[in-house]
């Protein structure tokens, strides 16, 4: 179970996620939280992972020498 801690909502309605909770949930910069209120009025936050560098090891695909757009038909607008 994740650590339990408290924070205070500041004047701009921002909160800081306590370090113990961030560590338990393995939160990293770029991760997002999706906020919901359940039927019992409880706040639920779902983690949306957005990991930096996740595609760094993906090799580019060689498409050969091809045009990005191929004109198949021309229309005379005059």
**Segment 35-47, tens digit of pLDDT:** 999 999 999 999 9
CATH 2.10.260.10 fits 1-50, yes or no: yes
CA-based torsion, 61, 66, 67, 69: positive or negative: negative
User: What residue ranges do the domains of the chain occupy?
Assistant: 1-50
Q: What is the mean predicted confidence (pLDDT) over 25-33?
A: 89
Question: pTM of the full predicted structure?
Answer: 0.54
What percentage of residues in the chain have a pLDDT greater than 70?
72
21/17 Cα distance (integer angstroms)? 7
Contact, 31 vs 47, CB < 8 A? yes
* Top-confidence residue, 54 or 62: 62
């Amino acid at each position: 179970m994740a650590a339990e801690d408290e924070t205070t909502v500041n004047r701009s309605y921002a909160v800081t996620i306590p370090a113990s909770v961030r560590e338990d949930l393995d939160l990293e910069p770029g991760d997002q939280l999706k906020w919901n209120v359940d039927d019992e009025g409880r706040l639920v936050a779902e983690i949306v992972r957005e990991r930096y560098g996740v595609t760094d090891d993906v090799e580019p695909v060689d498409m050969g020498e091809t045009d990005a757009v191929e004109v198949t038909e021309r229309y005379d607008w005059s």
